[in-house]
Amino acid sequence: MALTYRQTKGTALTIEELDANFQYFTGSHSITGSLTISGSVTSSLTLFNVPEYIDQSAAVAAGLTTGMVFRNENFLMIVTGSI
């Protein structure tokens, strides 16, 4: 099911249409290909189990490999494989 837009429909959305729209913004979603974001994204994600390292070199020295995630204070980082 696709998102229903009020501007496209021309009238207010029904409760069912609203509920169906919100199903796209809950749970886990995978992205294949590229993702471009214009503007800002706000998240309340808590990163309890993501290890913290000062930089990629420290993460690699600790055993992380390409594609693994670590954090540097409040920044989420991905090991790229090249230092």
pLDDT at 21: 75
Q: Is residue 83 part of a domain?
A: no
Domains contained in the chain, number: 1
Q: Is residue 36 part of a domain?
A: yes
Q: What's the domain range around 26?
A: 6-78
Least confident among 1-5, 37-41, 42-46, 76-80: 42-46
Cα–Cα distance measured from residue 13 to residue 7, given in angstroms and rounded to the nearest whole number:
10
- Prediction pTM value: 0.44
Strand, coil or helix: what is 43?
A: coil
Q: Is residue 23 part of a domain?
A: yes
pLDDT tens digits, 14-63? 888 888 877 766 666 677 888 888 888 776 666 678 899 999 999 999 99
Q: Is residue 59 part of a domain?
A: yes
Least confident among 5-9, 14-18, 40-44, 72-76: 40-44
Q: In terms of pLDDT, which residue wins out, 10 or 29?
A: 10
Please say whether the beta carbons of 67 and 56 come within 8 A: no
